[in-house]
Amino acid sequence: MALLRMDTLLKEARRNQVALGAFECWDSLNVQGIALAAARTGSPVIFQTTSMEYAPIGGPEIMADMVDFYVRKYSIDAALHLDHGANIKEVEECLRAGYTSVMLDASMKCFEENVSLTKDAADLAHGFNASLEAELGHVGGGDGGVGSESVLTEPKEAAEFVARTDVDCLAVAIGTVHGEYRGKPELRLDRLAEIAQTVKNPLVLHGGSGTPPELLQKAIALGIAKINICTDINKAFLNAIEETRKELSPSLAGNFYRPVVQKMSEKVESLIRLFRREGC
Ligand code: 13P
């Protein structure tokens, strides 16, 4: 199965009132774990990377080849997405490498500048038959006080933003944070409902890790079609390495691969099932 456009998968998800997990990728073990979980659940999945994740393994071409390999091996429906593209150069680099979706993140800029940068990126992505995600408002960092401050999305601006930019998927700021929460997570579901009334494109929730399952499922019922997960799967990966470390033979360091892939796939599988609102 070849990689698909992300918006095609997400439109279907929104129609069905479910969300797809968008999982950060950094190496072949975690990519394999994600692919396995998608195959086991029979669910489409989004593989995504920032430049900080593809740079250490040698660039977006290697990431695209690796993801494509596992997508074909497990015959799954999937997209490969650039998360938090910093500028148009990064966006173009990933499109040329074969990514089927990109994000241009101008959420820290003023509204007009965000509109203009997003419109340019949308035109570029569509020329490659790929979809574009952008963010309005800003999802800040939790991480015990480190990172940028959140700015909630203004529902009135959301419809205008989508109409003027041709963006395919819109990331909204409704109270989640990237990384660990500082206090009790609280989502502005009222705001999300208002946005969802006027924006019919798939809506994206960044900062999925650590968000209570019942809040995520309410957000999905209101229109969230993609949930980004980074911290939770990084933790699962590191814990699995930690657990297997003691049993490693000095001449077979690769022996930790299988248990790490296994733990990664278990974690991703449980999130995929949650986002499908199983048990609701
Ligand atoms: P978390 O690390 O909170 O899951 O956030 C991931 C994210 O939004 C990546 O864009």
Give 38-91 pLDDT, tens digit per residue.
999 999 999 999 999 999 999 999 999 999 999 999 999 999 999 999 999 999
DSSP symbol at 27: S
- In this structure, which residue's CA is closest to atom 1 in ligand 1? 207
Cross-strand pairs, 170: 134, 203
β-pairing verdict for 224-229 and 20-24:
parallel
The pLDDT, as a whole number, for residue 139 is: 96
| pLDDT single digits (tens) 221-263 | 999 999 999 999 999 999 999 999 888 888 888 888 999 999 9
Q: What is the length of the chain?
A: 280
- CA angle, corner 28, sides to 24 and 33, nearest 5? 65
Number of domains making up the chain = 1
* Phi-psi group of 49: left, alpha or beta (phi > 0 → left; psi -120 to 50 → alpha; rest → beta): beta
Q: Is residue 37 part of a domain?
A: yes
Confidence bin at 270 (pLDDT 50/70/90):
very high
Contact at 8 Å (CB) between 148 and 135? Answer: no
pTM, two decimals, is: 0.97
Six token digits for residue 87: 């500028």
Q: How far is the CA of 117 from the centre of ligand 1 (A)?
A: 22
Six token digits for residue 206: 């960044």
Q: Is residue 178 part of a domain?
A: yes
Average pLDDT, the chain: 95
User: Any idea what the CATH number is for the domain that residue 134 is in?
Assistant: 3.20.20.70
Question: In the chain, what percentage of residues exceed pLDDT 90?
Answer: 89
The pLDDT, as a whole number, for residue 144 is: 47
Q: How far is the CA of 209 from the centre of ligand 1 (A)?
A: 6
Confidence bin at 189 (pLDDT 50/70/90):
very high
Write down the catalytic residue from 77, 83, 168, 232: 83
Backbone angles phi, psi at 186, to 5 degrees: -130, 125
Q: Is residue 230 part of a domain?
A: yes
The pLDDT, as a whole number, for residue 241 is: 93
Q: Is residue 99 part of a domain?
A: yes
Question: Among candidates 100, 101, 130, 106, which has minimal Cα distance to 118?
Answer: 106
Model confidence at 142: pLDDT above 80: no
DSSP string, 142-186: -GGG-SPPPBPPPHHHHHHHHHHH--SEEEE-SS--BSS-SS---
What beta strand segments (E) does the chain contain?
20-24, 45-49, 78-85, 101-104, 131-136, 169-172, 203-205, 224-229
Q: Is residue 159 part of a domain?
A: yes
CA dist 9 and 83 (Å) reads 17
Domain containing 167: what range? 6-275
Is any atom of ligand 1 closer than 6 Å to the C-beta of 231?
yes
Six token digits for residue 225: 């079609």
Q: Is residue 280 part of a domain?
A: no
Is any atom of ligand 1 closer than 6 Å to the C-beta of 208?
yes
Contact at 8 Å (CB) between 154 and 190? Answer: no
Is any atom of ligand 1 closer than 6 Å to the C-beta of 30?
no
Model confidence at 143: pLDDT above 70: no
Q: Is residue 1 part of a domain?
A: no
Model confidence at 102: pLDDT above 90: yes
CA dist 47 and 27 (Å) reads 11
The pLDDT, as a whole number, for residue 146 is: 57
105 is catalytic: no
Is any atom of ligand 1 closer than 6 Å to the C-beta of 234?
no
Mutate to test the pocket of ligand 1, among 231, 238, 267 (most ligand atoms within 8 A of CB): 231
The pLDDT, as a whole number, for residue 205 is: 98
Six token digits for residue 129: 């038959």
CA dist 82 and 22 (Å) reads 11
Among the residue ranges 138-142, 150-154, 189-193, 239-243, the one predicted with the least confidence is 138-142
The pLDDT, as a whole number, for residue 245 is: 85
Q: Is residue 17 part of a domain?
A: yes
